[in-house]
Structure 1
Amino acid sequence: MTDLTDLADLPGEWTATAEALLPSSTPAAQPAWTAEAVVAVVDGAPVGVLALHRSRTGVVGDVLDPAAVAPGLFGGVGVADVLYLGGVADLVAGTATAAHLSPADRAAVRRALVAAGVEQARLRGARPVALYVRDAEVDDFTAAGLGRERVAGTSTLAVAGTDEEFLAGLSANARRTVRKDRARAAEVGLRVRTEPAAALLADPAACAQAVELVMAVKRAHGVVDHPRLVRSRLAAWAARPAGERVAHLVDAGGPPLAVTFACAVERRVEVYETGMAGEGPVHEAYLESLVHAPLRQALAGGLVEVDLGLEAETPKTRRGAVVAPVWAVG
């Protein structure tokens, strides 16, 4: 066992199903959480990491309440009785493993980490829970005898070589939709400006505009957030060391209509947060920032996929994305 603040100092190269799971990106302990980690070691070298969290207050949002997220698996389970395996940030849980491991060794390390996490839960009289485990890891999480329930889907857009090769790999319907998006974006005069996320957030006026766009999306989904909290969350994300972090801003000659924060890490682009205005060619700007700007980012960087995140599956699959299950495990 180790404290989360020690993870940034772990040597070696790491890989994970999401950037938030990398040791350098794992948030340090926060006042609301008791946070530790299980580290797997082979021949004196760390080869795997699993974060463990327990709520100090017993109060979390609905997105981290096991009974709300997966009632079929956790109905009646209180937050105070839970040990979270694999993290509580960015709607993803999982492990980080050493990049040099073979697929078989990676699976063995994952299973050993989860088994150790389950044992820690037993010793503490807690229920082991992992929320938002990606499909690529779920078999290793359930190998310890845990159950699973599908709670969401994550949409991934495969990127192949050039733009022409990407288009050729789409179905006829998806290709037609992408071309129509591009034509419509040009027709309404959309412009995309991409800049480092940290630089954008350091500019008070630009930061305020981006924060308002993000908050508008939250309000549309019934989530009330404070500008300072949004700004703090975005700044913390932008300061993580892994990958190249950018903001894609879309406008039509005036104030920004949409923004997407995205990170190029390993061989993919991960969409982190999207914001959208309430007036103007909003639908076109939303698609441009959420799908087409990260796609161009991936094509320019020679990357192989764009992780478009959870929810809003229809506009993503209509443009060629494939949806994989996301699981609650416990």
Structure 2
Amino acid sequence: MSRDVTGTPQTSPPVLAAYSYCEAVTGQQAGNFSYGIRLLPTAKRRAMSALYAFSRRIDDIGDGTLDPESKRLRLEDARTTLDRIRAGDIDEDDTDPVAVALAHAVRRFPIPIGGLDELIDGVQMDVRGETYETWDELAHYCRCVAGAIGRLSLGIFGTVPGARDAARAPEYADTLGLALQLTNILRDVREDAANGRTYLPSEDLAKFGCSAGFHSALPPAGADFTGLVHFEVRRARALFAEGMKLLPMLDRRSGACVAAMSGIYRRLLERIAEEPTAVLRGRVSLPGHEKALVAVRGLSGYDARSVHRQTARGRV
């Protein structure tokens, strides 16, 4: 491996091209996450883009129009690719740029790649059409499809030397993933219902009279839909408050990335809380300029300080 004048290993042109492909995918499709990823230094930004591109590939299989058996086979192909990466069988001449970039990232950072196996497990749950009776059951699914991504990302971010409670960093990263995923679930209740999916726990739906599902722009007759949304929002806020304990353990740029991504989702959550029925009329989102503002504040450390203040007051 060649090195530059500082002794840093140089990245070969084929690997750089693979990373460029992954960064293009991230820029085009990552939406909320791209605002945080842009704040990272080059090596970490490339690695996160590779991780996102592979994760997106898995998600797209689950969300695609193939029949369940075809989806299952494609997910197994993805798992085989992970096995090849673990075995060191992907080199820079491989024809799959996402695999090339991810393999390089795994060699450079201590990424717990088994988290991508968990993501595949979670998408397989979607393909099987599983539903969830309790929060504990839904939390298991969320850990597969989102908590695992938090733990994988932590392998790229790393923790600062001497960080207090650093051993709990994977736990906090996992919890933050749950908070983001629960926010996604609230945002997408109408879209998921149209696709035949229900994620919110059955016991919660029954408690608020929403077992009939969400197939129109109006709540089910006699349902306390606002009560249901506020109940889940409180759960998500508690998850954010716990997960954001990760921030002081990260370096400035990694912390800014996390603060930006989580800040966007927390704002989205509060927008849903302000007008719960809006999620039945369409996808609730933030304008680009607001996302950019959150990202800038994350880089300045504003959101990190804000999180600590709001956590102390129990408002996150």
TM-score by length of 1: 0.27
Higher helix share: 2
Higher strand share: 1
